[in-house]
Each structure stands twice: as C-alpha cells, then as structure tokens.
Structure 1
C-alpha cells in the first residue's frame, strides 16, 4: 500500500509541475500562489522552479507555531513540483497564437486537477501552502474558506504588484479547479476521506 501511495504521490506532483508549465506558457493568467511565484521570479531573476522551492520551504517554517506536522508528501511537494516545472518550461517553447494559448490553458487546468487529486488522494501529507491554510484556520478558529481567501488574496495582490501574470486564466482556474478536483478525487483516493482544499497545492 505504501509503495502504491508513494508512486501516486510522485506522479501527481510531476504532473502538477507540467500543468504549471502549461499555464505559464499559456500566458493568460495563473492561480494566486503562482502569480506570486512568477512575480518573485521576475524580480529576482531566479527560475520559477527555484522560487517554488524557496517559498515552499519558507511557508513550511510557518507551520512551526501552528503545530502542523509535515509528511512525505509535504517534503516531496516542495522539491518535485519546482524541479519538474523548470524542466517542463525548458522543453516547452513560448506560445504565439491565442487559440493555442487557450488550449494550453484548458490542458493546464485539467491536468492540474488530475495531479492535485492524485497527490491529495495518496494521503501522504498536504502541500506546504495547504498546510498553512488549514493550520491557521485551526489555530485562529476562522472559517477555512475565509482563511484561504485571505491568504490567496494577499499573495495574488503581491504577485500582481511584482509583475506576475493575472488574467482570464486566473478566473478560470479559481472557478474550475475546486469542482474538478472534487470530481476526480474519488478516482485516486487511497487514504480515508479528508477535506479538500484545492488550488494551493504548490
């Protein structure tokens, strides 16, 4: 069982990195956390994958006062998505035509949902950003939806100010990703059911 869960976890994280590269190449807007990551990448000159790793590690440190415990999935999330995203971006050329960009956006959102359902379903620990949301909600007593909106609204605004890509893709992702993950999760779930917090998995 452990081997199956571990393989599913790693495949899900790899697919997540590829989906992120598709959304970046679509250039029609990213999800809030990746707007922030892209903005930091633009300002620092570091690769997007490097920023994903650095931010993921920094966010996990915020778990300490929240008394959150990382799992294998948490550590893997920090490194695998960033490394795969950089490799995929290296292999994918920039897209020039709006129709092709639209297809990349659609493919990126769908693949992201499959990837998220796979690694959440493996039940080996949340991503650092998801853990921050659940931990903060538990410690403060704030409703999870409002905690998530507050965090993602903040990183979206900061990312936009830093030059991250906000657009139609940001809206499409926000509207579609939750229902898609909820639909796909039963296909992949191995561990007992838990509350799903879509879209922050990086």
Structure 2
C-alpha cells in the first residue's frame, strides 16, 4: 500500500487516481479517506491530495501544489520575487495569478491566494522551472513585478521618483538587479495588463 504512495512522490493527485491504485477495493474513496486519517495523505482541497513527505520521502513543493490546487495558474507577485531572491521580506501566502475568479485556499501546507488576470496578459512572461521529477509554472521576475504593481491598490506610479520610492522603500528590490530585466516583457504587459500607465512609468525609469 505505502509502496504505491511512494511512487507518487510530491505530485498532487486526485481521489480517482488514488482509488485506481487499489483496484481490488470496492470502496476506493473510503480507502483514500482511511489513508488521510492515518496521516499518509494530506488533503489540499476536495478531491485533491498530496502524499505525506514521511511516506514519499520527497520534500513538498508549494509552487507545484499551487499550480494544481487552482488551474490554470502560475506563481507570481511577492512569492515569485521572493523565490528569485529579489525581495528580502518573508511571504506568508503562496501568491498566484489565474484566469479564473480570485480565490484563496487554506490548507495544512499553508495559504494559497489566487488573483484574477485577463487572458491577454496571462501568458506574458511565464516560465517553467524544471526540477528532477516535476516542474511548475512561475512568472519571470519582470512579470511578477508587473503583477504586483497591477494588483497593489495603493500603488500608482506617475513619476520616476514614485518608481524609485516603490522599489527601494516599499518592496526593497535591488535596483541593479532590476536593470538586468527584460524590457520587452514590461512593454508587452503595459499594452494589455492593468495599470499600463504605471508599468510605462517603470519602463521610462529603466530607460533613463
């Protein structure tokens, strides 16, 4: 029984897929429930589980879990910037963007927040990070910064000084790292994403 779970690793898996591991069991769903009660499985939401790392011997990936809890989605905003080491603050929820309605999921693994983004902007600046046995979708640093600006209600970058204050004081991003970023992603986002004028001010700041 446990050997079957070990092969799953840290990939989130549905109730039906778990039940298929035990074809001899008529009440497959009850078997899944028993595994959860025994601490072998961790319930992420209705119908979706992840194997306890004590069983799989594989560390959980909150980025991978986030992609599966609410799809399509990708890691972004402060979570992505923190992942890349571009901001110093700890992020207390896993932040993602989705073309669906905004939602939050409180799980035993942590809090997962999803913010809605329009379809035209969704695919700009999204990349896949490949690990040994899995991969997940995450915003590039440029896209993560755009998403953060666009979805921070009090942020309105009208002047170059606003950009400097926001980057250095509000989110404490290293300006030298910012200057290495790809302007094309900012330009594409400014055309179709929210707060295009603020993103354009950011572009103007980088073009100085």
Query: Which structure shows the bigger proportion of residues in helix conformation?
Result: 1
TM-score by length of 1: 0.31
Q: Which has the higher contact order (CA 8 A, sep 6+)?
A: 1
Query: Which structure shows the bigger proportion of residues in strand conformation?
Result: 2
Higher alpha-carbon Rg: 2
TM-score by length of 2: 0.30
